[in-house]
């Protein structure tokens, strides 16, 4: 609740704002001189004046936000004066009377360009195009222009995430979904590891609050034991490092809560069974030319004390990741029988790992061989070359490689290429050059002949085989994994489609001349409708392919050389229902009470997540099927909330119990005689629960069972899960 003006101590606020500004100056002291300080003060004064009457949802003065964003830029990203000035001014053009011309007059063209990039796109396009997708597209366009736009946007989103507590719950979920959809993967690709981890942590905190609290409590309870173990483990290593007179530091990094939960889910283990809750990080400060030998020397010291796991050695010092990450990882066995991950890196590597490409920029002169990020920016530019792709397709293509794991493959001459996991020989061909990809008919992988669809592994050596007769095919899109290959194949297919469509257009023109029928847009539309083909390009393409019987045109009545067809008012079937609902519904204020009528509109429970009473839910206005009710943790929720925020609305359950709903459970554990009987007995003993199906599979002494049940609400489901978990031998029960 925003405080009323009479309750605000303006003098106290003024002092607090000045203190926040002084904190920014302290954080940026290593980046600025006297002239920089003057420019930063000028930007601060302008921002304070422009935002003087504005307050955030929390009630605090709005100026705290740009100051916080500027501080993130310099303190957590290592950016300089220009970024600090732009961060202080980033909302002025969008939210106040300040114009871009004012910015340029006072701070110059570079600052104006960055501020322009940070200003959101106005809401002036078709409802069927996602506003968020357009905003994301503009954000991505700036990557190939001035990276500072993207960095400041990332800092802006980080501060908004840190202050989510003052937002409405539904607004929090939408912002979390947007962040999960694009900002977290983008932070990963830009190398902002600390920011990516914090994004994921906050998202999980608000999306799964109960699970978050449980894991947080367990981490707190085991903290002292963990710290004692870390001291005992690192003491002998520290002694050896001291003897070598190395300038180093040793840190313990606790695994993030979302990562711990993911491991519990994927490995089907309990919290206590996760061996890598933390990792030991050894950071050494040495000159660039000594980095690699010193890292391996420290590895040798660690393995003198503890036995390494040969399958868990990761050498990103010799071959950095595409986001610039460099480190040497090994997992060793401690004296107590626990595996411990040890990360070895230099101070420069650590700064790049935490501050991403902003730090990479700082060291770029000394990294003559390191061009992985520049290659990625080149791929972004390649994606931007296709102006026909719509915003949503563009985002999907761009996201394809943001979070992908990587493999390392060699050319016949021994050059290293980095590709996404599951990349095929065709991906490799397109990675070398577009023309090589388009003419590729196969490859020799490690000397053996392999097809285009062969999935490559790290260490493979690939020699592409080409043919001038080869042409791109639609099927190629099914087995390429890289955004670059997909984009180039689609572009080539579009060009091929256009050539064929051009031939079809000529065929149709000749046919109409024979029938002495006028060539105009109305007649072409009439023909498309008659043959049931949408779009002139596709119509011409089908004609050229011989799939349209043009002899049937004689059956259409002709008058004065024009087709005579009854013209009906064009209908946008797909969007008419959507537009009707959006016009009559206030998505911010209206709430669907499930079990009661909602205005005159129909709503249904979504099949993808089968919500039941007690689940947190939201409504989504579909294009053709009314309103669908989804769980907030539905697999599709993130995409819906981030791309179609204007079609999301609140929904809640009626207080009375509704009819029974279908849900499914996955049960895993130790195989034992009679366990299936115990489970079915429990199902039949809980009043009102009916079983639709049950299936069990057993392998090597363990079992996995799936049960489909009809229940009334989550309370009844939780009662069942608790009873199942009490059966001896059952390890985990989870909802599918």
The residues carrying an active-site annotation are 94-95
Q: Which residues are paired to 604 by β-bridges? A: 628
Q: What three-state secondary structure class fits 342?
A: strand
Residue 667 structure tokens: 């049960």
Sequence-distant (6+) residues with CB within 8 A of 308 are 302, 330, 331, 332, 333
Q: What three-state secondary structure class fits 241?
A: helix
Residue 384 structure tokens: 């931007």
Sequence-distant (6+) residues with CB within 8 A of 181 are 399, 638, 639, 642, 643
In the numeric block, the tokens 């970024």 are attached to 83
Rounded CA separation 723/686 (Å):
10
Q: What three-state secondary structure class fits 333?
A: strand
H or E stretch at 630: strand 627-631
Rounded CA separation 180/644 (Å):
14
What are the phi and psi torsion angles at 698 (to 5°)?
-120, 140
Nearest to 92 by CA among 114, 110, 60: 114
Rounded CA separation 248/267 (Å):
35
Rounded CA separation 290/346 (Å):
10
Nearest to 670 by CA among 699, 694, 693: 699
Q: How far is residue 167 CA from its own chain's centroid?
A: 22
Sequence-distant (6+) residues with CB within 8 A of 93 are 99, 100, 103, 115, 116, 119
Rounded CA separation 289/286 (Å):
8
Q: Which residues are paired to 611 by β-bridges? A: none
Q: What three-state secondary structure class fits 408?
A: strand
In the numeric block, the tokens 């109305």 are attached to 522
What are the phi and psi torsion angles at 431 (to 5°)?
-65, -35
Q: Which residues are paired to 445 by β-bridges? A: 448, 462
Rounded CA separation 110/362 (Å):
19
Rounded CA separation 198/72 (Å):
13
Nearest to 463 by CA among 482, 480, 442: 442
Beta carbons within 10 angstroms of residue 314's beta carbon: 14
Burial 701-720 (b: 16+ CB within 10 A, else e): eebbbebbbbbbbbebbeeb
Rounded CA separation 286/350 (Å):
12
Rounded CA separation 346/124 (Å):
49
Q: Rounded to 5 degrees, what angle do the CA atoms 71, 76, 79 make?
A: 75
Return the half-sphere exposure (C-beta side, CA atoms, 13 A cut-off) of residue 21.
19
Return the half-sphere exposure (C-beta side, CA atoms, 13 A cut-off) of residue 407.
22
Nearest to 28 by CA among 78, 65, 102, 68: 78
In the numeric block, the tokens 């989103």 are attached to 157
* Cβ(391)–Cβ(133) below 8 Å: yes
């Amino acid at each position: 609740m925003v405080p009323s003006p009479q309750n605000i101590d303006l003098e106290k606020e003024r002092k607090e704002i000045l203190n926040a500004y002084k904190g920014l100056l302290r954080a940026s002291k290593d980046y600025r001189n006297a002239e920089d300080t003057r420019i930063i003060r000028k930007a601060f004064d302008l921002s304070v004046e422009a935002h003087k009457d504005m307050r955030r949802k929390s009630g605090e003065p709005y100026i705290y936000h740009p100051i916080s964003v500027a501080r993130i830029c310099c303190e957590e990203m290592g950016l300089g004066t220009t970024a600090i000035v732009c961060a202080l001014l980033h909302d002025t053009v969008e939210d106040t009377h300040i114009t871009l011309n004012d910015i340029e007059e006072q701070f110059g063209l570079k600052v104006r360009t960055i501020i322009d990039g940070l200003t959101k796109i106005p809401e002036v396009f078709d409802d069927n195009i996602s506003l968020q997708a357009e905003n994301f597209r503009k954000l991505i366009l700036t990557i190939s222009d001035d990276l500072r736009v993207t960095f400041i946007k990332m800092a802006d989103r980080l501060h908004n995430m840190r202050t989510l507590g003052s937002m409405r719950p539904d607004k929090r979920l939408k912002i979390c979904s947007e962040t999960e959809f694009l900002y977290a993967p983008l932070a990963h690709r830009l190398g902002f590891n600390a920011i990516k981890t914090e994004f994921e942590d906050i998202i999980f905190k608000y999306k799964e609050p109960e699970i978050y609290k449980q894991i947080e409590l367990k981490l707190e309870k085991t903290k002292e034991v963990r710290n004692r173990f870390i001291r005992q483990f690192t003491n002998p290593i520290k002694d050896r490092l001291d003897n070598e007179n190395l300038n180093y530091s040793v840190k313990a990094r606790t695994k993030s809560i979302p990562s711990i939960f993911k491991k519990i889910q994927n490995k089907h283990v309990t919290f206590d069974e996760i061996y890598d809750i933390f990792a030991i990080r050894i950071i050494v400060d040495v000159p660039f030319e000594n980095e690699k030998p010193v890292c391996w020397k420290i590895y040798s010291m660690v393995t003198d004390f503890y036995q390494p796991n040969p399958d868990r050695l990761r050498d990103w010092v010799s071959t950095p990741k595409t986001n610039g990450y460099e480190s040497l990882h090994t997992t060793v066995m401690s004296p107590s029988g626990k595996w411990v991950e040890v990360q070895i890196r230099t101070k420069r590597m650590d700064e790049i790992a935490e501050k991403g490409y902003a730090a990479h920029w700082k060291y770029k002169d000394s990294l003559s061989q390191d061009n992985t990020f520049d290659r990625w920016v080149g791929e972004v530019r390649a994606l931007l070359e296709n102006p026909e792709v719509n915003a949503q397709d563009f985002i999907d293509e761009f996201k394809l490689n943001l979070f992908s794991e990587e493999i390392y493959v060699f050319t016949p001459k021994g050059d290293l290429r980095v590709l996404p996991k599951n990349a095929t020989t065709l991906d490799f061909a397109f990675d070398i050059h577009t023309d090589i990809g388009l003419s590729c008919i196969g490859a020799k992988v490690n000397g053996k002949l392999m097809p285009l669809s062969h999935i490559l592994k790290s260490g493979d050596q690939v020699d592409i085989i080409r043919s001038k007769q080869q042409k791109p095919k639609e099927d190629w899109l099914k087995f390429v994994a890289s955004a670059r290959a997909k984009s180039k194949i689609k572009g080539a297919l579009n060009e091929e489609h256009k050539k064929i469509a051009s031939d079809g257009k000529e065929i149709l023109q000749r046919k109409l001349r024979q029938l002495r029928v006028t060539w105009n847009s109305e007649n072409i539309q009439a023909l498309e409708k008659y043959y049931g083909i949408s779009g002139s390009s596709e119509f011409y393409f089908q004609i050229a392919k011989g799939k349209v019987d043009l002899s049937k045109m004689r059956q259409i009545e002709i008058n004065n050389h024009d087709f005579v067809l009854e013209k009906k008012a064009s209908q946008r079937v797909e969007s008419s229902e959507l537009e009707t609902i959006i016009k009559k519904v206030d998505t911010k204020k209206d709430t669907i009470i499930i079990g009661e009528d909602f205005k005159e509109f129909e709503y249904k429970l979504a099949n993808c997540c089968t919500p039941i009473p007690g689940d947190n839910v939201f409504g989504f206005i579909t294009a053709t099927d009314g309103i669908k009710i989804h769980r907030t943790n539905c697999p599709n929720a993130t995409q819906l909330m981030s791309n179609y925020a204007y079609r999301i609305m609140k929904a809640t359950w009626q207080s009375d119990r509704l009819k029974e709903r279908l849900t499914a459970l996955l049960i895993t554990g130790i195989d034992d005689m009679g366990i299936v009987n115990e489970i079915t007995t429990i199902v039949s003993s809980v009043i009102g629960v009916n079983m639709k199906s049950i299936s069990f599979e057993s392998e090597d002494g363990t079992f996995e069972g799936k049960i489909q049940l009809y229940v009334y609400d989550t309370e009844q489901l939780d009662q069942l899960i608790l009873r199942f978990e009490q059966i001896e031998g059952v390890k985990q029960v989870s909802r599918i």
